[in-house]
Structure 1
């Protein structure tokens, strides 16, 4: 069976550098038939066009700060059989679509979601979860890392993350895509509930992994400190109106207030916020709740078919994935970039003597870089220090990455 055509929709607003990195990573995917649709503000669209692969992407300008409406524009332009979604501060593993799209070979599967790694590139940020009709997510224990096909209920859906999910295009278009009443926050969660209520199955795919950077935006600082909670309040109120019974709205909003207040108190104690910041942010949350209670809720009309056919984006199907390792980073990176230009997908493992914890990042030049101390831990659940030989540690890292990134020493 041939792989389905896939359109990846990337929405971007004011994050030119991270968007460029995302586009570079997409060009290293192990996938044959990829289309990339970028929906960006004017400056972002200009930056995307200037990217080396920009001429091979569908680029749409959209300046409103509404991720749902922007995604719907991307869906309308997407010509792939499956539409996947990726944030502009996220980087997919080369194997991402190979794993994420595989469950669509099963007829009953209409949506899929993968796992999201945090800023250190190793620890899990979001794994398997369900979500109820008040928008509260609950971890879901899965055994092993094989895809699991699940059905939600009218009051509890299978949670997917907006930066690592895919839906059959015909199903997504019929459902009306994303609800523009959610300008930010809970937009994909609303879609999860609608998919569940329509009887669609969702596959959770642990090996479909994306690295999420949490880049700076109008709503959060570079250290993830919130700058504005208005849309969190508004989207929560909209979500409750869409999905929950009236008598559950008050308790759910009180729970939201407690959660946000506790989060802000933690930031206040650690230093990023002062008391005036906390008061301002909580006022924004209340203003958002008030807005969400009166925001118009329109029916979602089906989305149109694309006006333009499928536009192929350059990828690297079947490219060798190689590992380069050594003590000096500069010559390692030089060698890695040469191998990358030759068409390989390259990981650099740079270990110096010491116990520093390991981090994985995607370099803007197109190569992966894992760095840390020879005796430092990768898995944050493991011991902080483990005395080992360099050759043993290299073999251990190759084994750790093998299910997602099968590496051959170069």
Structure 2
């Protein structure tokens, strides 16, 4: 069966991304498989919500603008979109990304298998400078919200999809709940993440026979501003990833929470260091910098994980997963 109804959720929070948000919505409206609706969820920024509502006043049900109904942050914004969605499949697109024309069509094809409950795609960095910094290793493209070296190619089964380019059957949220509001981007400046990892692991526990896929033909292009192509941001994001992974491990257990990361740190990253050193010996630009960045990223992320683990033991507490009730 083809032609499932897609609700696409785009979460926005700042006027600084006005043009990016419009481009993201336009890329959804140009899909070869039309979406049922695009839901723009605005995170506690009423002037931006009013401005977007006015911009899409003539779009009717095709584009709906909503206010985040939960606490400040990306997880609650996504949960607001899920609760309002009317489609069979809920897809998520970052507010500073554009989807290629067949993005939803490739998602849709994967759902022909009734076991499939989530499908992600490939996220390609669009560097503000027009090219990747020579020191920036592809193994760490997750730092800028993109698909990283080490993920398998093609349509493959995975533990978790990446949240800025993902889709889920509506029933997945009925079974497992929504995104945890205690994990991921919130109101502060620290670039936390991993909310989609925690959700996908929880989903696998709720539905043991469920299949989660990544199809690298479902492509989006994610904007990487100059401020995120710096060594300072690289270190900050790696540290925040360690903190986030500690929260995931607390929620779902270290076994599942770090299963993929063990392979990544023991196989993918050493190979990346070796490539960087080889390029250095061959006098290729950035080889030593990439090797050094990988080592730095591992050390900093480990430090964040250790601190996060100590903090979670001391503070305890739980997570909230709603609202993700019946669609309106």
Normalising by structure 2, what TM-score? 0.66
SS in structure 2 of the partner of residue 207 of structure 1: strand
**1:12 and 2:12 aligned:** yes
Q: 1:9, CA displacement in angstroms? A: 0.8
Larger radius of gyration: 1
**1:243 and 2:252 aligned:** yes
Q: Is the 8 A contact 1:181 1:295 kept in 2?
A: no
Distance in 2 between residues matched to 1:202 and 1:282, nearest whole Å: 27
Among 48, 51, 70, which residue is 2:52 paired with? Answer: 48
Distance in 1 between residues matched to 2:171 and 2:139, nearest whole Å: 27
Segments of structure 2 that go 5 or more residues without pairing to the other structure are: 143-147, 186-192, 270-285, 291-300
Shift of the 169–65 alpha-carbon distance from structure 1 to 2, 3 Å rule, reads same
Partner of 1:325: none
Q: How many residues align?
A: 261
If asked which structure has higher relative contact order (CA below 8 Å, sep 6+), I would say 2
Q: 1:301, CA displacement in angstroms? A: 6.1
Distance in 1 between residues matched to 2:236 and 2:309, nearest whole Å: 13
Partner of 2:174: 173
Q: Is the 8 A contact 2:244 2:305 kept in 1?
A: no
Q: 1:39, CA displacement in angstroms? A: 1.1
Distance in 2 between residues matched to 1:241 and 1:285, nearest whole Å: 11
Partner of 1:303: 324
Partner of 1:194: 202
Segments of structure 1 that go 5 or more residues without pairing to the other structure are: 130-136, 151-156, 260-265, 271-280, 308-410
Among 64, 69, 81, which residue is 1:58 paired with? Answer: 64
Distance in 2 between residues matched to 1:209 and 1:4, nearest whole Å: 19
Partner of 1:363: none
Greater share of residues in helix: 2
Output one character per residue of 1:103-154: Cα deviation in whole Å (capped at 9) or x when no partner.
1111111111111111159999799x9xxxxxxx982434xx4x34x3xxxx
Distance in 1 between residues matched to 2:241 and 2:312, nearest whole Å: 9
Q: Is the 8 A contact 2:202 2:252 kept in 1?
A: no
CA-atom RMSD in angstroms: 4.0
Distance in 2 between residues matched to 1:240 and 1:297, nearest whole Å: 12
Q: Is the 8 A contact 1:16 1:47 kept in 2?
A: no
Greater share of residues in strand: 1
SS in structure 2 of the partner of residue 29 of structure 1: coil
Partner of 1:348: none
Q: 1:228, CA displacement in angstroms? A: 5.5
Partner of 1:28: 30
Q: Is the 8 A contact 1:115 1:205 kept in 2?
A: yes
Partner of 1:182: 183
SS in structure 2 of the partner of residue 73 of structure 1: helix
**1:100 and 2:107 aligned:** yes
Distance in 1 between residues matched to 2:139 and 2:108, nearest whole Å: 19
Normalising by structure 1, what TM-score? 0.54
Distance in 2 between residues matched to 1:167 and 1:223, nearest whole Å: 30
Q: 1:2, CA displacement in angstroms? A: 4.6
Q: 1:179, CA displacement in angstroms? A: 1.0
Partner of 2:213: 203
